[in-house]
Amino acid sequence: MTDVLISPEELRQRHRRRWFWLIGLAALGGLALILIWYLLPSGPSVSAKDLLTGTVKQGDFLIQIRAPGTLKTRVQRWITTTVGGTVQIVYIHPGSETSPQTPLLKLSNPHLYSALQKAQFALTQAQAQAVAQNAQQEDHLYSLEGDLESAKAAAASSEMQVKADASLLQEKVLPRLQYEADRLKARKDEELVTSLEQRIVAFRKNTTALGEAQEAVIASNRANVATAKADIQALTPLANMAGEVQNVSVHAGQSLVAGAVVARIANAKLLNAVLTVMPSDVGELARGLPVHVLLPNPTEPVLHGTVERISPNVVDGAVPVTVRLRSFLPKGTRPQMAVTGIIRVSRIAHTLYVARPAGVQPNTQSSVYVLSPSGDSAVRRMVHFGLASSDGIQILSGLKPGEQIVLSDTSDWHTRMIIRP
């Protein structure tokens, strides 16, 4: 293969074109560097789309705590059985309305009927024994009273004989020995009368005591019969209150022991709101503070109430606060309905305030990022905060009205941040 000769002129043109390309590429690279230099911010930056900002305001600052919660029944009762048995029929279900006489279920227990029969037999037996004993006591009393009458007659006869003997003795017709014998007999007859009278008094007391003892036995047996009847009636436990069934804990065929829980019934017309307040906000609460309760449907009226109880315990990271509702409950309001409570704590007049930045606690000094007037940068500044509300916090010093601050989490930011569009 033969070599192709290139003329010197063509070589010079090729070299010139190569240099033109290199110069063009260098110019484009320089232009790109200039654009990058001017368009990209210098230093740490963050996108404005990722930021949440707030504006410092001046005026009356309402300190209020906003907390979620649910409606709870003010009056509720766990219904339990007083006797054991097997569930035959369940009459109620969750949501059923009840009155005090509403039956909840039907239990079966044959032993209770046997106990009633035994109690009734014992009562009948005690009553029969009381009748027999009374008859026996009366018969004995009649016998004693008959003996007393005979003794009185004998004593009277002896007394008359003694009087007659006294006349004969004076006339010396009757020997003194006979007279003394008749006097002795009269004394014995009188003592017999006294003894019989005492026996009758004691017998009457004994009869009264026996009667009271027998009445006690009868009363005890009557109580046993009443208890047995009440146990049978308890086989059909009643609601004993007007309300709505919240929970049923039994089913047909289940065996229950005395004291087993049957159902939970609540008065759905008497409701409280139980709010879950953050522990950091509880220190500002007190009983009697006014509360507005918002229902899920915004068209429903706002319910009004007051703080009734603040729990001393933290449950699942929050403190339960009970609000006693004072206003009329609209139709459809039910237990366990989710609500939002706004507790009005106080009002501070003519002060600076802003939406609460992330991580800022009340009555502390914290650093926040303040946006420049153009909004293209943010600089950290120390601010003294005061009292806090659920949607804002008071500013004691460090900020001016109209300034904007970053509310988002800035824990990993530098002293100065560039805000990108």
Exposed/middle/buried for residue 344 (C-beta within 10 Å: 0-12, 13-18, 19+): middle
Which of 403, 406, 416 minimizes the C-alpha distance to 359? 406
User: Does any domain span residue 361?
Assistant: yes
Claim to verify: residue 294 and residue 305 sit in the same structural domain: yes
Q: Who's near 203: CB < 8 A, 6+ residues apart? A: 137, 140, 141, 144
CA distance 76 to 264: 7
Where would I find the H helices in 43-175?
A: 110-170
Q: Which of 308-312, 324-328, 340-344 has the lowest mean pLDDT?
A: 324-328
The pLDDT confidence band at residue 395, using thresholds 50, 70 and 90, is very high
pLDDT in tens, 120-151: 999 999 899 888 888 888 888 888 778 778 87
Specify if 349 maps to a domain.
Answer: yes
Q: Find the mean pLDDT for residues 39-65.
A: 79
Instruction: Name the DSSP letter for residue 278.
Output: -
Residues 260 and 163 in one domain: no
Q: What's residue 10's pLDDT?
A: 67
Q: pLDDT at position 1, please?
A: 46
Look-up of token digits 């009459």: 91
Residue 7 above 80 pLDDT?
Answer: no
Looking at 249, 265, 281, the residue that finishes a domain is: 265
Residues 278 and 357 in one domain: yes
Q: Worst-scoring range by mean pLDDT, 36-40, 182-186, 289-293, 370-374?
A: 36-40
In a domain? residue 97: yes
Residue at 18 is within a domain: no
pLDDT of residue 43: 53
| Alpha carbon distance 11, 17 (integer Å) | 10
Is residue 126 within 8 A of residue 214, CB to CB? The reply is: yes
Residues 212 and 300 in one domain: no
pLDDT at 119: 93
Residue 122: inside a domain: yes
Tell which of 218, 233, 248 closes a domain: 233
Q: How confident is the model at residue 324 (pLDDT cuts 50, 70, 90)?
A: very high
Average pLDDT over residues 307-321: 93
Q: What is the pLDDT at residue 38?
A: 46
Clarify whether residues 275 and 409 are in a common domain: yes
Q: How large is the average pLDDT for residues 255-282?
A: 90
Q: How many structural domains does the chain have? A: 3
pLDDT digits (tens, 9 = 90+) for 222-251: 999 999 999 999 999 999 998 889 899 999
Beta bridge pairs of residue 78? 264
What average pLDDT does the segment 188-200 reach?
82
Is residue 412 located within the same domain as residue 279? yes
Q: Write down the pLDDT at residue 26.
A: 76
- Establish if 9 belongs to a structural domain: no
Distances (CA, A) of 122 to 112, 118, 215, 222: 15, 6, 13, 9
Instruction: Determine how many CB atoms are found less than 10 A away from the CB of residue 420.
Output: 13
In a shared domain, residues 327 and 206: no
- Considering the domain architecture, whether residues 291 and 396 belong to the same structural domain is answered as yes
207 and 276 inside one domain: no
* CA dist list (Å): 169 to 121, 156, 160: 71, 20, 14
Task: Give every CB contact of residue 9 below 8 A, 6+ residues apart in sequence.
Answer: none
- 95-117 average pLDDT score: 93
Report d(CA 241, CA 262) in Å as an integer.
14
- Looking at 59-63, 119-123, 169-173, which range is the least confident one? 169-173
Task: Note the pLDDT of residue 359.
Answer: 84
Give the span between the Cα atoms of 380 and 364, in whole angstroms. 16
DSSP 318: B
Residues 277 and 409 in one domain: yes
Q: Quote the CA–CA distance of 296 and 235 in Å, as a whole number.
A: 42
pLDDT band at 33 (very low <50, low <70, confident <90, very high): low
CATH number, position 58: 2.40.30.170
User: What integer pLDDT is reported at residue 75 of this predicted model?
Assistant: 85
- Looking at the fold, whether 252 and 297 belong to one and the same domain comes out as no
What band does 39 get if pLDDT is binned at 50, 70 and 90? very low
Tell me the residue range of the domain where 396 lies.
Answer: 48-72+270-420
CB–CB of 116/225 below 8 Å? yes
Report yes or no: 288 and 96 within 8 Å, Cβ to Cβ. Answer: no
| 4-8, 278-282, 370-374, 396-400: range with lowest mean pLDDT | 4-8
Q: What is residue 34's predicted lDDT score, i.e. its pLDDT?
A: 58
- Tell me the C-alpha distance between 273 and 339, whole Å: 8
240 in a domain, yes or no?
yes
Residues 400 and 274 in one domain: yes
Q: Does 300 or 323 have the greater pLDDT score?
A: 323
Distance of CA 67 to the CA centre of its chain: 21
Distance from C-alpha of 66 to C-alpha of 318, rounded to nearest angstrom: 13
Residue 375 pLDDT level (bands cut at 50, 70, 90):
confident
Mean per-residue pLDDT for 318-337? 88
What's the mean per-residue pLDDT of the chain?
A: 85
Q: Domain containing 83 — which CATH number?
A: 2.40.50.100
Specify if 33 maps to a domain: no
